């Protein structure tokens, strides 16, 4: 095996870049790599050429030595704290990865290149970036002086696969007793909020629910990053756009929600409520657009009202206005928790209390073992969905 086959250095990468830039015929990367190798006196066999081409592709167009983790279907997050301090999350557990990224300057160069691939600028004048890479991976990077000594890189992998309800039950995400409930929520066109902490599975659950929507309905999905991938034939996606390096061209989620209303949606879906766009969502769901869905970060279903109030305050809405509109806009909250696995822990009903405050009352509570019990709001939710009240209590899923 040649030295080139064992490792691709910066000089060889520069040679490939030069050849790619000079090529006006759109030559395949493998052809360019082979020619560049011959220029340095290396003759690569088919297997070595394939390996070197893969490495070059990762270094030029991917995440370098991190790309193998991003390609692993079990990996959800890749976190870089230093050249030899890389952590990978699989199945909800972080483990340290045996990978060497070189030196501090190499980590910074990787962060800068990834930011550029996402159309963002990362340097001393703009030391933090939040971007979406061409393959959908979400990038967050911070360089000194905001980071202490080395650039910090966080990569969240976006999987395009949509899970079925049955697969969520098999994985423990959804208790069997909740299956008729979530199916009824979709079929009766209830407006839903999916809540939970970061990484609790909100997007996965929402994609599975949207896959249940009848195929003759049009879904207009508004997201900051294209994460939702429901198994549905008629999905129209609108993606927010960050400002360019000159600070122009920004299109936020609030504007996209307004555009979505003019696109003949049967259901409007907001991938995540995280700012002033909650005002547009509340307005939309209060003007005849039923069957809408959104996700929101919250520690518990009971905390959702406070979260909505905080977000709506960014849009200048009073607490009383939020309570009045949200109580009418949303029917139910599906809350996920993350313990040894991600699972739907509670189903709540959104209503306005006698005091005028917005509340989420518990309809169904799920223990980690899968035991499902009815809460005080279950009779009203069952009546709304046309389900028998006695169906709420079951034993363990195990």
Mean pLDDT of 240-263: 84
pLDDT score for 397: 44
CATH architecture of 65-156: 2-Layer Sandwich (3.30)
pLDDT score for 302: 93
Phi, psi of 338 (to 5 degrees): -125, 105
Determine the Cα angle at 206 with ends 249 and 209, to 5°.
Answer: 135
Q: At what angle do helices 277-285 and 253-261 cross, to 10 degrees?
A: 20
**C-alpha dihedral sign at 384, 386, 390, 393:** negative
pLDDT in tens, 138-182: 899 999 999 999 999 999 887 666 789 999 999 889 999 999 999
pLDDT in tens, 278-298: 999 999 998 888 999 999 999
Of the spans 92-96, 199-203, 303-307, 335-339, which averages the highest pLDDT? Answer: 303-307
Q: What is the number of alpha carbons within 13 Å of residue 31 lying toward its C-beta?
A: 6
Mean pLDDT of 320-326: 93
pLDDT score for 5: 45
Instruction: Delimit the domains of the chain by residue range.
Output: 3-61, 65-156, 165-392
Say how many Å lie between the first and final Cα of the chain, rounded.
52
pLDDT in tens, 94-142: 999 999 998 999 999 999 989 988 888 899 988 999 888 877 788 999 9
Cross-strand partners of 132:
138
Q: How far is CA 1 from the centre of its chain?
A: 41
CATH class of the domain at 165-392: alpha beta
pLDDT score for 80: 95
Q: What does pLDDT average to over the chain?
A: 85
State how beta strands 192-196 and 293-297 pair.
parallel
Other Cβ atoms closer than 10 A to 26: 6
**Using CA atoms, how far apart are residues 251 and 283, in angstroms rounded to an integer?**
19
Q: Which residue has the tokens 């198994």?
A: 231
Three-state SS for the chain is CCHHHHCCCHHHHHHHHHHHHHCCCCCCHHHHHHHHHHHCCCCCCHHHHHHHHHHHHHHHHCCHHHHHHHHCCCEEEEEEEECCEEEEEECCEEEEECCCCCCHHHHHHHHHHHHHHCCCCCCCCCCEEEEECCCCCEEEEECCCCCCCCCEEEEECCCCCCCCHHHHHHHCCCCHHHHHHHHHHHHCCCCEEEEECCCCCHHHHHHHHHCCCCCCCCEEEEECCCCCCCCCCCEEEEECECCCCCCCCCECHHHHHHHHHCCCCCEEEEEEECCCHHHHHHHHHCCCCCCCEEEEECCCHHHHHHHHHHHHHCCCCCHHHHHHHHHHHCCEEEEEEECCCEEEEEEEEEEECCCCCEEEEEEEEECCCCCEEECCCHHHHHHHHCCCHHHHCECCCC
pLDDT score for 398: 41
**Using CA atoms, how far apart are residues 159 and 227, in angstroms rounded to an integer?**
7
Residue 70 has pLDDT above 70, yes or no: yes
Topology agreement, domain 65-156 and domain 165-392? no
pLDDT score for 142: 96
């Amino acid at each position: 095996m040649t030295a080139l086959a064992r490792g691709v250095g910066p000089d060889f990468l520069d040679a490939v870049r030069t050849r790619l830039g000079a090529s006006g015929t759109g030559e395949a990367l493998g052809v360019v790599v082979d020619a560049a190798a011959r220029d340095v006196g290396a003759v690569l066999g088919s297997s070595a050429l394939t390996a070197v081409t893969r490495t070059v592709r990762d270094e030029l167009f991917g995440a370098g030595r991190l790309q193998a983790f991003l390609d692993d279907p079990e990996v959800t997050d890749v976190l870089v704290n230093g050249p030899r301090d890389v952590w990978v999350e699989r199945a909800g557990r972080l483990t340290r990865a045996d990978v060497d990224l070189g030196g501090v300057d190499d980590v910074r160069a990787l962060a800068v290149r990834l930011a550029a691939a996402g159309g963002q600028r990362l340097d001393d004048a703009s030391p933090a970036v939040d971007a979406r890479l061409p393959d959908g991976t979400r990038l967050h990077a911070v360089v000194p002086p905001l980071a202490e000594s080395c650039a910090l890189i966080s990569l969240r992998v976006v999987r395009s696969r949509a899970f079925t309800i049955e697969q969520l039950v098999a994985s423990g995400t959804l208790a069997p007793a909740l299956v008729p409930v979530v199916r009824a929520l979709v079929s009766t066109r209830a407006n839903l909020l999916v809540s939970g902490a970061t990484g609790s599975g909100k997007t996965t659950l929402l994609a599975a629910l949207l896959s249940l929507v009848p195929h003759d309905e049009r879904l207009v999905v508004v997201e900051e990053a294209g994460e939702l991938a429901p198994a549905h034939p008629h999905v129209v996606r609108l993606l927010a756009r960050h400002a360019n390096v000159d600070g122009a061209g920004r299109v936020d989620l609030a504007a996209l929600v307004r555009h979505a209303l003019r696109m003949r949606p049967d259901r409007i879906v907001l991938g995540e409520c995280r700012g002033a766009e909650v005002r547009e969502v509340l307005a939309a769901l209060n003007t005849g657009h039923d069957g809408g869905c959104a996700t929101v970060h919250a520690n518990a279903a009971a905390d959702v009202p406070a979260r909505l109030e905080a977000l709506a305050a960014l849009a200048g809405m009073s607490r009383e206005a939020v309570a009045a509109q949200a109580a009418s806009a949303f029917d139910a909250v599906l809350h996920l928790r993350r313990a040894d696995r991600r699972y739907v822990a509670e189903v709540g009903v959104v209503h306005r209390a006698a005091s005028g405050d917005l509340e989420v009352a518990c309809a169904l509570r799920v223990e980690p073992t899968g035991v499902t019990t009815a809460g005080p709001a279950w009779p009203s939710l069952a009546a709304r969905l046309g389900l028998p009240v006695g169906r709420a209590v079951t034993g363990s899923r195990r």
